[in-house]
Chain A
Amino acid sequence: MIEVKNLVKSFKDGESITQVLKGIDFRAETGEFVSIMGRSGAGKSTLLYQMSLLDEPTSGDVIIDGKDTSLLSIEEKTKFRLGELGYVLQDYALLPEMTALENVALPLLMQDIDEKQAYKEATEALTRVGLEKRLNNLPSKLSGGEQQRVSIARAIAHKPKILFADEPTANLDNESSRIILNIFKELHAEGQTIIMVTHEHEYSKFAERIIHLDDGKIISIEKN
């Protein structure tokens, strides 16, 4: 379960301060698939970054499974992200010098899992997203859709509590986008909590709930 309380995020640019999130409150239950929608500049990605501990909110709380993350140090947050959270970003965010297998295995190795076991689990995750034949390919040798699937495999290999996805289909064609969304659907069916930012209404329908943002505020919550 993740809970956001009165979340505010402001950016300072010289003398001017821009408030991007203006007091967001919402809660996603364990196993829920929530989609965050809104027009460009509405604050969708900013909200996702605060919830996923990639950024520090100006004020407000993010509570994950009862733990107030604002109390965590930088190092504890890094450890928390490593163990409990998974990320799928718009531009795949893969490490170019590592093969698909190594990209997926890296966070597992950081959890002190031995290399053999980490590679086994990474292989399982890549098989899960249909890339069992592309294990030893570098990202540069994979299509955009395949790279995004590696990114998903990396995000789910350590079985995170919450999977965050920021516009995961933005750079993909329709076919690849459908594959990605189907994987999310399967993961959700298995009980994975997913928070996904998208601007495409068609894909937001895969979620159980759709949160509509505008000008840094939740304007509506829609149930599918």
Chain B
Amino acid sequence: MSPFLNLRIGIYLAKRQIKRSNPWTTALIIFVMFFTFLNLVVISGILVGLIQGAVDAVKSDYMSDVIVSTLPDKSYIENSPEVISIIKSLPEVEAMTARYVQGGKIEANYKTKIKDTDKSDIANGSFTGIDPVDEDKVTNLSRFIVAGKYLEHGDYDQVVIGAYLLKKYMPVDSPGFTTLSNVGVGTKIRITVGSVTREVTVKGIVKAKVDEVSMRVYMPDDQFRSLIGRSDYNVSEIAIKLKPGANPEYVRDIIKSNGVGSVAKVQTFTEGKPKFITDMQNTFALLGNILSSIGLVVASITIFIVIFINAITRRKFIGILKGIGISEQAIEISYILQSFFYALCGSVVGIIFLYAFLQPTIAAHPIDFPFSDGILVAPIWGTMFRIGLLMFTTIVAGFIPARLVVRKNTLDSILGRK
């Protein structure tokens, strides 16, 4: 019998079995397949999205599209004013922020300390001088203010302090990492950068999920320059935000070709992001794939059981079909098509749920993980690949039990003999 004829009869049988099966049973199987689909796509999507959220945050809150930073053996970018003017002249650039960065010490309880033997409340921090307006245009730093106010031009001896430097927000006490107690908005603290110490007032507290943002102390760049005695305007890093659609690699190359490459590192976000992020991305993608594989096994077992029970309970009718001359292949195809139908329906419902509801909802309301705002990463081609895998597994899982039952002796099946 021709394969086409077997397919035709297989479709004929499958159509009627599905059409006239118990609708609740069909709905239940599709429901199971729907959850299998979600297990396959969403779990790994959230795992990847968890890191993707962190990556996106590093990009939007700190590094932006292109970052210009110091060469390994330098503490600042030489000829920074010239570099800045080159960057500003590029039409692809939407905004940029130049930062002065230097490590230092913060002391909080110096006024209340009575004896020299009293424990000092000291933390190490990274001091960053910024143009508050430029910084806000690139990283929107002001939106992370959780207490007090953001910096303004002209703020004198005022700082915005990262929440992770304060015990109130970061109740961790580990060797090599200390936080300040009893520091809030309005508290006076003493900062020491190099050999210069100055008393400043905490104007605001900034808290983002990116450590580089939440572990810094910000002050206006003119104040910071005077603090560190930098009169040459040479900065430590420049974050560049590009206009939508602009190509970061192209902008990087343009900046480099203007001679900036010899005085600074010019990197796109992808190149400049910390290596551990890439490692974590790969790790979580691997974890996602492992979980997806388990999901796939669960799906195939589910379909195997469903089809096996279906075929076993219909063993007599399978016998009748064979008895009246329907080929084994046509009967097997009918079961494969049923499996395919359940997987397809589950996947279609899953796709609609995923792309019409779940992904937009999570994008609008990211999952609040401790170190990132988790999004759901489910690229369409990745989803299609997983659906393909699900279909293939389902077809195999539908074929095996059907084959097991179909190959039994025709008369034994008809008469219900073992």
Query: Do A and B assemble together?
Result: yes
With beta carbons under 8 angstroms apart, the residue of B2, B20, B317, B324 that contacts A107 is B324
CB of B19 within 8 Å of the partner chain? yes
Task: Tell me the A79-114 residues at the B interface (CB within 8 Å).
Answer: 79, 81-83, 87, 89, 93-98, 102, 106-107, 109-110, 112
Q: Contacts A55-B411, A102-B16 known; A79 to B1 CB distance under 8 Å? A: yes
CB of B321 within 8 Å of the partner chain? yes
- Rounded to whole Å, the gap between the CB of A78 and the closest CB of chain B is 6
Q: Contacts A54-B414, A79-B1 known; A138 to B20 CB distance under 8 Å? A: yes
Q: Contacts A55-B411, A109-B8 known; A78 to B20 CB distance under 8 Å? A: no
CB of A190 within 8 Å of the partner chain? no
Cβ of B8 and Cβ of A98 under 8 Å apart?
no
CA–CA, A154 to B385, complex, Å?
45
Q: Which residue of A lies closest to B407 (CB)?
A: A74
Contact with A along B275-291 (1 / 0, CB 8 A): 00000000000000000
Cβ of B320 and Cβ of A49 under 8 Å apart?
no
CB of A175 within 8 Å of the partner chain? no
CB of A202 within 8 Å of the partner chain? no
Q: Contacts A49-B411, A138-B20 known; A110 to B320 CB distance under 8 Å? A: no
Cβ of B411 and Cβ of A81 under 8 Å apart?
no
CB of A173 within 8 Å of the partner chain? no
- Rounded to whole Å, the gap between the CB of B202 and the closest CB of chain A is 76
Cβ of B327 and Cβ of A75 under 8 Å apart?
yes
Cβ of B326 and Cβ of A96 under 8 Å apart?
no
CB of B89 within 8 Å of the partner chain? no
Interface size on A, residues (CB 8 A): 25
Contact with A along B390-417 (1 / 0, CB 8 A): 0000000000000000000111001000
- Rounded to whole Å, the gap between the CB of B319 and the closest CB of chain A is 9
Cβ of B410 and Cβ of A54 under 8 Å apart?
yes
CA–CA, A55 to B322, complex, Å?
12
Cβ of A107 and Cβ of B327 under 8 Å apart?
no
> Is chain B's binding surface mostly helix, strand, loop or mixed?
helix
With beta carbons under 8 angstroms apart, the residue of B9, B17, B323, B411 that contacts A97 is B17
Q: Which of B1, B325, B330 has the most CB of A within 10 A?
A: B325
Cβ of A87 and Cβ of B323 under 8 Å apart?
yes
Cβ of B16 and Cβ of A98 under 8 Å apart?
yes
Contact with A along B356-395 (1 / 0, CB 8 A): 0000000000000000000000000000000000000000
With beta carbons under 8 angstroms apart, the residue of A54, A98, A109 that contacts B323 is A54
CB of B226 within 8 Å of the partner chain? no
CA–CA, A35 to B321, complex, Å?
25
- Rounded to whole Å, the gap between the CB of A156 and the closest CB of chain B is 12
Q: Which residue of A lies closest to B18 (CB)?
A: A97
Cβ of A95 and Cβ of B325 under 8 Å apart?
no
CB of B250 within 8 Å of the partner chain? no
Cβ of A106 and Cβ of B317 under 8 Å apart?
no
Q: Contacts A78-B322, A154-B324 known; A110 to B5 CB distance under 8 Å? A: yes
- Rounded to whole Å, the gap between the CB of B340 and the closest CB of chain A is 18
- Rounded to whole Å, the gap between the CB of A8 and the closest CB of chain B is 16
Cβ of A106 and Cβ of B12 under 8 Å apart?
yes
Contact with B along A179-214 (1 / 0, CB 8 A): 000000000000000000000000000000000000
- Rounded to whole Å, the gap between the CB of A117 and the closest CB of chain B is 14
Q: Contacts A79-B1, A97-B21 known; A54 to B411 CB distance under 8 Å? A: yes
On chain A, the residues within 8 Å of B5 by CB distance are 110, 112
Q: Which residue of A lies closest to B19 (CB)?
A: A97
Cβ of A110 and Cβ of B325 under 8 Å apart?
yes
Cβ of B327 and Cβ of A110 under 8 Å apart?
yes
Q: Contacts A102-B16, A110-B330 known; A95 to B317 CB distance under 8 Å? A: yes
- Excluding A95-B320, A110-B5, 12 further A-B contacts by CB distance (< 8 Å) are A54-B410, A55-B411, A94-B320, A95-B321, A97-B16, A106-B12, A106-B321, A106-B326, A110-B1, A110-B326, A110-B327, A110-B330
15 contacts between A and B (CB under 8 A): A54-B323, A54-B410, A78-B325, A87-B323, A87-B324, A97-B19, A102-B16, A106-B9, A107-B325, A107-B326, A109-B12, A110-B1, A110-B330, A112-B5, A154-B324
